[in-house]
A and B are shown apart, each in its own frame.
Chain A
Amino acid sequence: MTTTTGIEDPLSATEPAKIAIDDVSITFKSKSGPDVLAVKSVSFQVRPGEFVALVGPSGGGKTTLLNMISGLYKPDRGRIDIDGEKVTGIHPGLSYMPSRDALLPWRTVQRNVEYGLELRGVGKAERARIAAEMIAQVGLEKAAGRYPAQLSSGMRQRTAVARTFACHPEILLMDEPFSALDAQTRVRLQSLFLDLWERNRSTVLLVTHDVGEALALADRIVVLTSSPAVVKEEVVVDLGRPRDLRAMHRVPRYHELFAQVLDLLDDTEPIQPASRGGGNARS
């Protein structure tokens, strides 16, 4: 078994964690009904250049965790460090990809890809050059002058990928970025994304409920329970790199890992309080 937990697999002293999440909890106050504990005592670490997937049921507090790492929310308890420094606001080396492309509809593909650079004060000629390069890398040269409304959903998400990498982010937070795409487009975009990432090697934290996606892309999977999110287990994805996503299903190890993660997720499913139904079939 390659299953490890954060405790059994301490980071070596020579390589400090890029992102360190230590005993983090957050509760949301609710006007109607009881307060909601969204994340409970979560701890895990991400090494520089590592690709970690957070897997768990949808709506189970994973996005909240991302929002705390990005500095949008403050945890009630525990602390989050990036490069050994406590997160207090929005980290400048960070980029974020939501499941919807979140492009600016009034900007062309070219200007959308330039957007992050523009916000970071990169000069006009320089950002036009970088954007054109990124657009070529995602294969949208001919669509550079079009508006998002004139693109297919796959092309829009490619634009979002180009925008994300144009800033050369140190840390990339992704919240189910490919979930809105059809199966074929999704695999194409995942491959494209991996290609770009291999060249860039940002530290990636990917939130997904899709076990196949997590295995295809990540180095390590952190399995979370739902509402509140608690770390269930960490699974190392020892599938090597570079990976051929279309041939993944022919790798036996992929299926072993798939079954393992699925079993872990199955266990996280029941969220009824223990008090109810003493004679529960589940033991």
Chain B
Amino acid sequence: MLEAEAVVLVEPEAEPGPARPTRSRRAGLIRFAWQMLLLAVFLVTWQMLVDHKVLTELSVSKPTAIWDEMVKLYRGGQIWNNVGVTLQETVVGYVFGVVAGVAAGFTLAFTPRLLAVLNPFITILNSLPRFALGPLFILWFGIGLTSKVALVFSLVVFIVFTNTSAGARSVDADVVTVSRLLGASRWDIIRKVMLPSTFPWVVAGMRLSIAYAVAGAVVGEMFASQEGIGNWIVAGSGVFNTAEIFAGLLVIAVIAGTIDLLGRLVERRVLRWRPEVAMG
């Protein structure tokens, strides 16, 4: 579906042919049909394998049972509450992480000596599996919202920081020289060259960290919590309710997928000029 936007290298005289968009839209539809077919085959196979006792329902559940569980949770109203809690943890931790990561990335890119001093510590912290900090955060911040926000933050901040500082340091030297000679002040260089040129790196970091943010919130809830999707999965596991676990996973997948889709739409809008984006 992205080919419709593909860049065509044409001399100014040439007009883009009208046939292109229609052809690629049809290709997109055909691809979508195949994807739906694959999903249907997967679900039907799963259902049949369990119905014919090839796989046990206790370990893998089955699509119809998961659906019934979803309907039950929906009717009971718990679903919105749990989703709301997890989303809140995700969003708050994510926003703080992005803001701190961008700020730190820019600051350190402009102060290379500070970066040189801090670098080994950053590397150590970054290579530490952040999920392992979960129990510590529970200890520090309790079993409520804050500990999950902290976990999400610790995941997001490093990804965004790394990307931002890499982006800020990879600004095209020729563009800076031309700008300076055209009369750009230091502030002009920051505002009109550094910021826009780092922006795609920040956006890439933001997109990459979405999945980690959701994971951080859910894993945090699994350590200790009273509500949220992670809590719901752990509860299902405690009573061997496999359908409930799968229902939880399904909801997480839908949330992560939706946020990622939104992120991609935003990215496509703000980074129209990027060849990679334009090419899909």
CB of B12 within 8 A of CB of A94, answer no
B126 at the binding interface (Cβ < 8 Å): no
B51 at the binding interface (Cβ < 8 Å): no
B180 at the binding interface (Cβ < 8 Å): yes
Considering only CB atoms, which chain B residue lies closest to A118 in the complex? B192
Q: What are 12 A-B pairs at a CB distance below 8 A?
A: A94-B181, A95-B182, A96-B178, A98-B177, A98-B178, A102-B172, A102-B174, A105-B273, A106-B273, A116-B182, A150-B8, A155-B11
A173–B178 alpha-carbon span in the complex (Å): 11
Considering only CB atoms, which chain A residue lies closest to B274 in the complex? A149
Known: A98-B174, A102-B177, A106-B196. A149 touches B7 (CB 8 A): yes
CB of A152 within 8 A of CB of B179, answer no
Considering only CB atoms, which chain B residue lies closest to A139 in the complex? B12
Question: Using Cβ atoms and an 8 Å threshold, which residues of chain B touch A115?
Answer: 179, 182, 192
Known: A149-B278, A150-B7, A150-B278. A95 touches B12 (CB 8 A): no
Given A116-B183, A147-B272, A150-B7, 12 new contacts (CB under 8 A): A90-B180, A96-B177, A96-B181, A100-B174, A104-B192, A107-B273, A120-B182, A139-B12, A141-B12, A142-B13, A143-B12, A167-B182
B193 at the binding interface (Cβ < 8 Å): yes
A213–B272 alpha-carbon span in the complex (Å): 37
Question: Using Cβ atoms and an 8 Å threshold, which residues of chain B touch A152?
Answer: 9, 11
Query: Shortest CB–CB separation between residue A142 and chain B, in angstroms?
Result: 4
**How large, as a class, is the contact surface on chain A?**
35 or more
Within 8 A of A (CB), among B156-207: 172, 174-175, 177-184, 188, 192-193, 196-197, 199
Within 8 A of B (CB), among A114-156: 115-116, 119-120, 139-143, 147-152, 155
A270 at the binding interface (Cβ < 8 Å): no
Cβ proximity bits B269-280 to A, threshold 8 Å, 1 near / 0 not: 000111100100
Query: Shortest CB–CB separation between residue B69 and chain A, in angstroms?
Result: 48
Question: Using Cβ atoms and an 8 Å threshold, which residues of chain A touch B180?
Answer: 72, 90
Query: Shortest CB–CB separation between residue A244 and chain B, in angstroms?
Result: 23
Question: Using Cβ atoms and an 8 Å threshold, which residues of chain A touch B274?
Answer: 105, 149
Query: Shortest CB–CB separation between residue A73 and chain B, in angstroms?
Result: 11
A70 at the binding interface (Cβ < 8 Å): yes
Partner of B12, one of A96, A119, A142, A173: A142
Query: Shortest CB–CB separation between residue A157 and chain B, in angstroms?
Result: 13
A141–B12 alpha-carbon span in the complex (Å): 8
Cβ proximity bits A66-79 to B, threshold 8 Å, 1 near / 0 not: 00001010000000
A152–B12 alpha-carbon span in the complex (Å): 10
A10–B200 alpha-carbon span in the complex (Å): 54
A60–B146 alpha-carbon span in the complex (Å): 61
A105–B278 alpha-carbon span in the complex (Å): 12
Question: Using Cβ atoms and an 8 Å threshold, which residues of chain B touch A155?
Answer: 11-12
Cβ proximity bits A148-178 to B, threshold 8 Å, 1 near / 0 not: 1111100100000000000100000100000
A254–B8 alpha-carbon span in the complex (Å): 40
Query: Shortest CB–CB separation between residue A61 and chain B, in angstroms?
Result: 17
CB of B275 within 8 A of CB of A140, answer no
A95–B181 alpha-carbon span in the complex (Å): 6
Considering only CB atoms, which chain B residue lies closest to A91 in the complex? B181
CB of A150 within 8 A of CB of B9, answer yes
Q: Identify the interface centre among B12, B184, B278: most chain A CB within 10 Å of its CB.
A: B12
CB of B172 within 8 A of CB of A90, answer no
A16–B8 alpha-carbon span in the complex (Å): 50
Query: Shortest CB–CB separation between residue A69 and chain B, in angstroms?
Result: 10
Considering only CB atoms, which chain A residue lies closest to B185 in the complex? A119
Cβ proximity bits B8-46 to A, threshold 8 Å, 1 near / 0 not: 110111000000000000000000000000000000000
A141–B11 alpha-carbon span in the complex (Å): 11
A120–B278 alpha-carbon span in the complex (Å): 32
Q: Identify the interface centre among B8, B13, B193, B273: most chain A CB within 10 Å of its CB.
A: B273
A95–B196 alpha-carbon span in the complex (Å): 23
Query: Shortest CB–CB separation between residue B212 and chain A, in angstroms?
Result: 27
A149–B8 alpha-carbon span in the complex (Å): 10
Query: Shortest CB–CB separation between residue A103 and chain B, in angstroms?
Result: 8
A103–B182 alpha-carbon span in the complex (Å): 12
Q: Identify the interface centre among A98, A104, A139, A173: most chain B CB within 10 Å of its CB.
A: A104
